[in-house]
Structure 1
């Protein structure tokens, strides 16, 4: 084994330090070329391994963070487009992806570039070719970003945070999406107690920073629950007013979207300009209600407000049965008919599962499936485009990311 191979060869994900570059290629010649590039360019944090695109997908699932740049090989893939769509599901939106293959296919090349892939190279590779592909960026190319997802309750106590946290944990733990959960209640929402975390007041620290919000600052303020689920929150003392400068919320959300598949915005108890900026930045809005007349009226107001947003978000109504069924509550069919909404998901009454989730910090998807967990899975499938009712967008839309579902 040469000195270069000894320096760059890794055998397990725990040994990988690939903050700058990760390459997974299928043949020895390509592996050697990438290693020579790493040494030639003095890339300090890089890793190259032999394998397929399936290996690359599995490896990305185990890493704490996606690399800044990724080289992946589709040689031998029977369905390279589908494989790249699966890759986009586990790869941070900010990653610059260079695809390597054996086909000199102009149509594939154009499709990939239009989708946000940085470049497509066919073998044999050279150091110069790889260097140009990794450093070139077409100013007109579409930058992949994640989606902001807003959760708002028609009134307090309808289970907005419970549903949002359950969905976030499922997306992070099961589908391996990278999730930023932002609790916009500056005086402390329920997310930290539900996840058994302690806030560092990172949200208000970011928003009061007079300088531009940047990636290193965001990384310091995020509190991790896992590799794929990170929380941004604050818990100010009651009586301590916090004035947020106009545009700060939008700036923060846009910065997070560059590094996360989904930025989940919890608006429980939040209104005014903060909520307005969150709605405007969101591609998806979930409004939670219960079977009360008051909640139905407030839901109608929220629907009118969100439907008037210039961002034109996809709006889904969540009818949550958080109380024991008794006579006198609004019937689900009447509720839906009164609001004139066909897009509604009803969540069942399930006190034991939710008590464990809220008070013990247990994920609702763990253990035996229940009707509530099935409803959360349905929401996840709808959001990521995996159900027949909401068919997935084409692979290129998911790779491009801008309002595509991943």
Structure 2
């Protein structure tokens, strides 16, 4: 196979794996122990444990196959899931698994990773009570998919898509874009959208949507034991026909210090009630903001074209790459560009050290934004035909997965070369 064909196949496999991962729902809080004979299997399992969809699961990888597992469980309790790799022949593998069954709790599930592509073996393993048999080599996506297939209820209501907006600095317009894009998504697609204002002391969603709800996100985060779909529905303020707001109190009568998992249940519950959940994350770096950004489906960073914004965006991009190793990079929006008399970093120069191109470049337009903010209305309500509103429409399509990011327009020379290549093939 030529190197070009190999790279094409590899890219296609990567795209398929990404698609598979994106469609998977988070795994619940379970314990998993894996016993591996080869690094080629241990590596993908370890990477699966780092995936955000496995954030609630506790995974430990041991080197050594069935023999090590048998010895280990002589004195230790078995977890919710045992993953074992074995290079044994089919008959020997079945015999070893029978011994493992003798030391396992009845509630423990077992996944076997073998090296024999044998239909008879697969049927015998399933008949013996094994949850799944996977033939090596395996990928990280294979492991996450197998675990999700066992422990995630396929009949449960589908989870909505969570999109977190965060600013590289305060005042860059991240909240304004989050609110306007949420409104745009609900209006364009006739789809239910929930906005959660997570800036409890200084949130502006209630002002931007001209709302003054008596309750909101504070009641949910301070009463986690009460959170379910019914309770959350009572806290939501209706901003438009298909847009609901979980408003921040925007008061300073108490301090707002939270544990890392404080908002996790709120977000999970909101995702069960709406196809899209937009999270307006404040410009902070705490345990809960870190956890939120690590686990959402999509992160959108808003920045203005200045040096401090570039530094902060670079830090966010690098940190999120570690927190979300199996996801693509965050989306970037450059906002408030071409401000009169302000020296700026060009969009290409801003993007180069980040390794990501801006999803959109939005010019400084104080009249449009100021009028909308002062009237408690969205940009699309103020001027439906404005170019910035059209940009927001495009962003809504991309962020909801309805449209891919458009490639940059090719130069005349590039187009000419493409035509010449087509003629010679």
Q: CA deviation at 1:368?
A: 4.3
User: Considering only CA atoms, is the larger Rg found in Structure 1 or Structure 2?
Assistant: 2
Q: 1:140 to 1:221 in 2, by over 3 A?
A: closer
Q: 1:233 to 1:323 in 2, by over 3 A?
A: farther
- The equivalent residue for 1:265 is 279
- The equivalent residue for 1:45 is none
For 2:369, which of 354, 365, 374 is the aligned residue? Answer: 354
- The equivalent residue for 1:308 is 322
1:292 aligns with 2:315: no
Higher relative contact order (CA 8 A, sep 6+): 1
CA distance, structure 2, for counterparts of residue 217 and residue 169 of structure 1? 23
Q: CA deviation at 1:344?
A: 3.2
CA distance, structure 2, for counterparts of residue 334 and residue 165 of structure 1? 28
Query: 8 Å contact 1:187–1:236 — kept in the other structure?
Result: yes
Q: CA deviation at 1:387?
A: 2.8
Deviations 1:228-248 (Å, cap 9, x if unpaired)?
A: 111112225326213334423
Query: 8 Å contact 2:206–2:248 — kept in the other structure?
Result: no
Query: 8 Å contact 1:159–1:322 — kept in the other structure?
Result: no
Q: Which runs of 5+ in 2 are unaligned?
A: 1-151, 408-425
- The equivalent residue for 1:379 is 395
Deviations 1:220-262 (Å, cap 9, x if unpaired)?
A: 1111112311111222532621333442311110111011111
CA distance, structure 2, for counterparts of residue 139 and residue 222 of structure 1? 27
1:178 aligns with 2:192: yes
CA distance, structure 1, for counterparts of residue 361 and residue 374 of structure 2? 23
CA distance, structure 2, for counterparts of residue 382 and residue 295 of structure 1? 24
1:318 aligns with 2:348: no
CA distance, structure 2, for counterparts of residue 246 and residue 324 of structure 1? 38
Deviations 1:127-179 (Å, cap 9, x if unpaired)?
A: xxxxxxxxxxx944464111110000011111111111111111112221111
For 1:337, which of 323, 329, 352 is the aligned residue? Answer: 352
Q: Determine helix, strand or coil for the equivalent of 2:378.
A: coil
Q: 1:156 to 1:236 in 2, by over 3 A?
A: closer
1:158-169 mapped onto 2 (5 Å cutoff):
158-169=172-183
CA distance, structure 2, for counterparts of residue 182 and residue 374 of structure 1? 24
Q: Determine helix, strand or coil for the equivalent of 2:353.
A: helix
More helix by share: 2
Deviations 1:304-354 (Å, cap 9, x if unpaired)?
A: 122222473651011002562435211111111122213532112222221
- The equivalent residue for 1:208 is 222
Please identify, of 239-248 and 285-294, the stretch whose mean Cα deviation from structure 2 is larger.
Answer: 239-248
Query: 8 Å contact 1:200–1:233 — kept in the other structure?
Result: no
TM-score by length of 2: 0.56
Q: 1:368 to 1:182 in 2, by over 3 A?
A: closer
Please identify, of 362-371 and 188-197, the stretch whose mean Cα deviation from structure 2 is larger.
Answer: 362-371
Q: CA deviation at 1:211?
A: 1.5
Q: 1:252 to 1:314 in 2, by over 3 A?
A: farther
Q: CA deviation at 1:199?
A: 3.6
Query: 8 Å contact 1:179–1:229 — kept in the other structure?
Result: yes
Please identify, of 235-244 and 265-274, the stretch whose mean Cα deviation from structure 2 is larger.
Answer: 235-244
- The equivalent residue for 2:386 is 370
CA distance, structure 2, for counterparts of residue 242 and residue 390 of structure 1? 41
Q: CA deviation at 1:267?
A: 1.1
1:141-160 mapped onto 2 (5 Å cutoff):
141=155, 143-160=157-174
Query: 8 Å contact 1:289–1:318 — kept in the other structure?
Result: yes
Q: 1:390 to 1:256 in 2, by over 3 A?
A: farther
Query: 8 Å contact 1:201–1:236 — kept in the other structure?
Result: no
CA distance, structure 1, for counterparts of residue 250 and residue 377 of structure 2? 26
1:389 aligns with 2:405: yes
Q: Determine helix, strand or coil for the equivalent of 1:248.
A: coil
TM-score by length of 1: 0.58
